[in-house]
């Protein structure tokens, strides 16, 4: 998204997020930026918003069973 924003700024999707926030969120928290875009363009009652929100929560809260198993195996050694 950042390459698209920097190379083709006229073709970047319209949004109310300031450009500096697009860049910072694109680097540090891209999933949150995607949620903002989906919310602005399609609303929160869209399946894509729910899917990205669930994936974001799994990713930021430690993932699923496999990630916990790896983490536990690493701390046991």
In 3D space, the residue among 24, 26, 32 whose CA is nearest the CA of residue 2 turns out to be 26
CA distance 64 to 67: 6
Tally of CA atoms within 13 A in the half-sphere of 37 that contains its CB: 16
3-state secondary structure of 14: coil
Chain segment 1-50, per-residue pLDDT in tens: 777 777 887 777 777 888 888 888 888 888 898 899 889 888 889 899 99
Chain segment 53-62, per-residue pLDDT in tens: 998 888 888 7
pTM over 0.85: no
Q: Domain coordinates of the chain in residue numbers? A: 2-76
């Amino acid at each position: 998204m950042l390459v698209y924003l920097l190379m083709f700024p006229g073709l970047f999707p319209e949004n109310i997020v300031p450009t500096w926030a697009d860049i910072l969120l694109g680097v540090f928290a891209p999933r949150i930026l995607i949620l903002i875009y989906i919310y602005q363009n399609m609303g929160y009652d869209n399946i894509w918003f729910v899917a990205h929100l669930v994936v974001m929560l799994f990713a930021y809260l430690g993932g699923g069973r496999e990630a916990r198993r790896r983490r536990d195996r690493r701390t046991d050694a």
